[in-house]
Amino acid sequence: MAVLSKKYKVQPFKVGPDFIDPTHHTRVCGRPSRNLDSYIMGERGILETFTCASVDADFCVIEGVMGLFDGVDETEIASTAHVAKILNAPVVLVINAHGVSRSVAAMVKGFAEFDTINIQGIILNNVGSERHTELIRDSLCSAGIKIPVIGALPRSREISIPSRHLGLHMAGENELDATLLSGFIEKNVDMDALKTIAGTFDVSNINPDEPDERFDIRIGIALDSAFCFYYQDSFDALRRLGAELVFFSPVSDRLPEVDGIYLGGGYPELFARELEASRTRDDIKKAANDGMPIYGECGALLYLNESLTTDKTYRMAGILGAKSRMTDRLQALGYTEAQIISDSPLAKKGRIIRGHEFHYSVTECDRDARFAYKLGRGKGIRSGLDGLMEHNTLASYMHTHPASASFAEFMYQCSRYKSG
């Protein structure tokens, strides 16, 4: 992405539900990265997002997730391979060559023959020397494998990104040098070969359906270092429905004049002291008590609860009858599927929506807690229940996507609140 962006318009994508990698893509390419997740979005959602995002791009670069064929359980769904099939996109296989030589040929042969994936190039990662690279090339040739090695990346201590409990640091938290990145790739990857591979791509375009109704409302979006996990598609979906998006920081801003609030996930546990000190939490609680629709995901759940315990216990917005505490081990990670069991600001009772959860916290609710979701897949807050509700506020551990859960009901609720 760094190399191509020097001369071309590059549209980045990330397979899977990850929020963090796309921030690095966006920083390097100068245009928002999009997620492509076939479990949550479905085939049509993948094609719609790809079509809209790539309309004026010279190149599209899709970063995979995990191994090429790793999907939900034993299936291909949500795998990089599944997305490649949906888009009919050529694949460049990146292989960790550290400590192996001829075995790479066996891996490539297995990957090439396992499924009908169009693998057109190989990049060797963590090679030890030019001799090491030649041994691998010779092994591939001896095995009759025609897929070319278009790059061999030596190990480099200069190129690294720090990580924490939810993954890599976000873009902007480190000084990763795009010039250093592009120079490293230009030296070690045949970019002409890569461009040739990209030139073989062709996809059928599908444009999103126009919404049945548009709403003239203002939606407050919490966006700062504490709340930073959002899909660009969510912002686009809200705008298509007529919303004016008003971004604010619960850490440092007062709540602006809005008709509804959307709080994403992120790292409220790292900013609990600042969130407690900010008067914004009182603004949001007052808005909730007035009946303003509020929708929150994961980190937002911790913030909308009564308290959050990290190094000590901090007061939070106090809207939902629950208390959260951070733990030193992973509490949930994976895809979710929820049936809506109560009308909520996001969807009416009876709907099925999909998403994912990833958190290190535990939330303990009051006995009379009301839940919007019953999970057929996933852990949720308590006993397979998720989506805690109070007034017209909904917050869950589950993150979802507008391809699975349209914001139309949320917008309708915000419109009613505005006119009421």
In this structure, are 193 and 225 located in the same domain? no
Give the DSSP letter string of 93-160.
Answer: EEEE-TT-STHHHHHHHHHHHHSS--EEEEEEEEE--HHHHHHHHHHHHHTT----EEEEEEP-SSS-
Is the CA virtual torsion 198, 199, 200, 203 positive or negative? positive
Residue 70 lies in a domain: yes
Question: What is the total count of domains within the chain?
Answer: 2
Instruction: Decide if pLDDT at 227 tops 80.
Output: yes
In this structure, are 237 and 144 located in the same domain? no
DSSP-assigned letter for residue 8: S
Q: pTM score, two decimals?
A: 0.92
Supply the range of the domain harboring residue 254. Answer: 218-419
Instruction: Decide if pLDDT at 264 tops 80.
Output: yes
Lowest mean pLDDT among 4-8, 167-171, 226-230, 377-381: 167-171
Q: Say what the pLDDT of residue 156 is.
A: 84
In this structure, are 147 and 252 located in the same domain? no
Residues designated as active site: 298
- To the nearest whole percent, how much of the chain has pLDDT over 90? 89
In this structure, are 98 and 132 located in the same domain? yes
In this structure, are 162 and 228 located in the same domain? no
Instruction: Decide if pLDDT at 212 tops 90.
Output: no
Instruction: Decide if pLDDT at 164 tops 70.
Output: no
Round to whole Å and give the CA distance between 381 and 84. 34
In this structure, are 189 and 255 located in the same domain? no
Task: Give the CATH number of the domain where residue 165 resides.
Answer: 3.40.50
Round to whole Å and give the CA distance between 374 and 383. 9
Residue type, 370: R
Decide: 81 and 69 in contact? Cβ < 8 Å.
yes
DSSP-assigned letter for residue 268: G
Short-list 356, 408, 391, CA closest to 210: 408
How do residues 134-158 score in pLDDT, each as one tens digit? 999 999 999 999 999 999 999 887 7
Work out the pLDDT band at 174, boundaries 50, 70, 90.
low
Residue 50 lies in a domain: yes
In this structure, are 183 and 229 located in the same domain? no
In this structure, are 338 and 392 located in the same domain? yes
How do residues 316-343 score in pLDDT, each as one tens digit? 999 999 999 999 999 999 999 999 999 9
In this structure, are 47 and 119 located in the same domain? yes
Strand, helix or coil at 231? coil
* Helix axes of 178-188 and 21-29: crossing angle, nearest 10 degrees: 90
Decide: 263 and 190 in contact? Cβ < 8 Å.
no
Per-residue tokens: 389: 């509700």
